[in-house]
Amino acid sequence: MIENIMFYTFPVILAYLLGSIPTAVWVGKRFYNIDVRKEGSGNAGATNTIRVLGLKAGIPVLIIDVLKGYAAVALAPLVASLISEETLSATLILASAAAVVLGHTFPLLAGFKGGKGVATLLGVGIGLFPAASLTVVLIFTIILILTHYVSLGSIIASISFPFLVIFVFHSPGIVYSGLAIGVAVFIPFTHRKNIVRLIKGTESKISFKKKK
């Protein structure tokens, strides 16, 4: 009984705790004595870190946040196999994916005030849908170069994701298709304030200049 409970819950709990690592907060406080949640957009993610602290701080935050998502879905089957010989289902793998994103958005280790989950979702996508995810990165990059709006790039890329997963790269199952559709809903939802600012023309553009 206890083994069954651990099999079904431990990978998900581990994924949440991985997501809860507040990379932007720790980097800002440790190296710059700045809480990025009190600066810029107030978001504890890579974009706001770049905006407030520059690329030198933002790129490591981005990489680690992506790796959190990738590690959650990659480690879930391995962790489960150490507990039981049973094969972890697609549903539980996707539960781990959801948990790592929730951990990033509502981190236990940072007062439940985190980022918007874009980078961590990208890591999940690379782990589960590598071809579709890399295509999404290309779409995001094109939008960013053309407009300098990270939020717009994230929103358009997320909306295109399920179409790529389902129709272009042919999703391996309905559960995975559901995750892809969930991404297209979740990212615009977490960017709803950005959408209002985009409509009003008051959204901040990203600058890649070095911060002194």
Q: What are phi and psi of 43, to 5 degrees?
A: -95, 135
**Per-residue model confidence as pLDDT tens digits over 56-81:** 999 999 999 999 999 999 988 887 77
Residues 104/117, Cβ–Cβ less than 8 Å: yes
Residue percentage of the chain with pLDDT more than 90: 70
Residue percentage of the chain with pLDDT more than 70: 95
Confidence category of residue 1, pLDDT binned at 50, 70, 90: low
Give the range among 86-95, 96-105, 172-181 with minimum mean pLDDT.
86-95
Q: Which tops the pLDDT comparison, 171 or 211?
A: 171
Q: By CB neighbour count within 10 A (0-12 exposed, 13-18 middle, 19+ buried), where does 30 fall?
A: exposed
Dist CA 208 CA 51 (whole Å): 8
Confidence category of residue 212, pLDDT binned at 50, 70, 90: low
Q: List the chain domain ranges.
A: 2-200
**Per-residue model confidence as pLDDT tens digits over 161-204:** 999 999 999 877 888 899 999 999 999 999 999 999 999 999 98
Q: DSSP letter at 41?
A: T
Residue type, position 172, single letter:
P
Biggest CA–CA distance in the chain, Å, is 57
Instruction: Please give the span between the terminal C-alpha atoms of the chain, in angstroms, as a whole number.
Output: 57
Q: Which helix (H) or strand (E) holds 159?
A: helix 150-163
Residue tagged 């790592």 (tokens): 100
Of 23, 58, 51, the residue nearest 194 (C-alpha)? 51
Residue tagged 């939020």 (tokens): 151
Residues 160/105, Cβ–Cβ less than 8 Å: no
Residue partners of 19: CB distance under 8 A and separation at least 6: 68, 69, 72, 99, 100, 101, 102, 103, 104, 105, 107, 120
